[in-house]
C-alpha cells in the first residue's frame, strides 16, 4: 500500500498522538517536523540553535530550511511505501514545493484535525514545554490562521482534503480518522 498523507491542525490539536496511532495502524512512518527540529535543538546542531531562537519567539522556521529537512527525510527507505507528514507543509509555498517534489503522484490524502482554540491552548499549556508559553501559543495560532489555514483551500481544490472532529477521547478521534482513511483506500 502506498499511502502518502498529511495531517493538518492547530498546534495542540492532538496530531502527534493520532499520528503515532495511525502510523502503527497503516504501517507508514510518522514524520514530524516538530520532532525533527526539537531533536536538532537537543543535539545543539547549527540548525538546532537557529531553530531554537525562532521557535522560542513563536515563529516558523523558513521554507528553504524546512523543505531541505523534509526532502532528506522523505528520501529515506521507510518512506518509500508512504508516510504521514505532521507539521508540513505550513504554507502554500511549501505545499506547491511538496507537490513538485512528490510528482507525479503527489499527496493522497490531507486530514484536517479540527479542535477549538481554547481547547488547544489548554492542552498546550498542560504539556509544559519550554516553548509553550501562552503568548507563544497565541502567536503560533495567529500564524496558523494567517499562513497554514489557506492550505485547506489548496488541498480542497485538489480534492484531497477531509475534515475530522479532533475533540474527544483519543480512541474516538482515531476511529474517526481511520474511517476517513479506510473510505479513501476503498475508493
List of domains in the chain: 3-186 (3.40.50.300)
pLDDT at 1 (0 to 100): 63
Mean pLDDT in runs of 10 for the chain (187 residues)?
A: 90 90 96 83 80 80 83 89 92 92 92 92 86 87 84 93 94 97 93
User: For residue 21, which of 151, 181, 141, 148 has the smallest C-alpha distance?
Assistant: 181
pTM of this structure: 0.83
How many whole angstroms separate alpha carbon 133 and alpha carbon 138?
Answer: 9
Name 165's bridge partners: 114
Q: Residue 17 has what pLDDT?
A: 92
* Predicted local confidence at residue 69, as pLDDT: 81
pLDDT number for residue 8:
93
Cis peptide bond prior to 91, omega within 30° of 0:
no
Alpha-carbon distance of 101 to 153, in angstroms, equals: 20
Phi, psi dihedral angles at 43 (to 5 degrees) = -75, -15
- At 181 the pLDDT is 96
Q: Residues 6, 89: contact at Cβ < 8 Å?
A: yes
Amino acid at each position: 500500500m502506498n499511502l502518502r498523507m498529511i495531517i493538518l491542525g492547530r498546534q495542540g490539536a492532538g496530531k502527534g498522538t493520532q499520528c503515532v496511532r495511525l502510523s502503527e495502524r497503516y504501517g507508514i512512518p510518522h514524520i514530524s517536523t516538530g520532532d525533527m527540529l526539537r531533536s536538532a535543538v537537543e543535539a545543539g546542531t547549527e540548525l538546532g540553535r537557529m531553530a531554537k531562537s525562532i521557535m522560542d519567539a513563536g515563529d516558523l522556521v523558513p521554507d528553504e530550511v524546512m523543505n531541505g529537512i523534509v526532502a532528506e527525510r522523505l528520501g529515506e527507505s521507510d518512506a518509500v511505501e508512504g508516510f504521514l507528514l505532521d507539521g508540513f507543509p505550513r504554507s502554500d509555498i511549501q505545499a506547491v514545493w511538496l507537490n513538485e517534489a512528490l510528482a507525479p503522484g503527489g499527496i493522497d490524502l490531507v486530514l484536517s484535525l479540527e479542535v477549538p482554540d481554547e481547547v488547544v491552548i489548554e492542552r498546550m499549556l498542560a504539556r509544559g514545554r519550554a516553548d509553550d508559553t501562552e503568548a507563544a501559543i497565541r502567536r503560533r495560532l495567529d500564524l496558523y490562521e494567517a499562513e497554514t489555514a489557506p492550505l485547506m483551500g489548496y488541498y480542497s481544490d485538489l480534492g484531497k482534503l477531509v475534515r475530522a472532529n479532533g475533540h474527544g477521547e483519543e480512541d474516538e478521534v482515531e476511529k474517526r480518522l481511520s474511517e476517513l482513511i479506510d473510505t479513501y483506500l476503498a475508493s
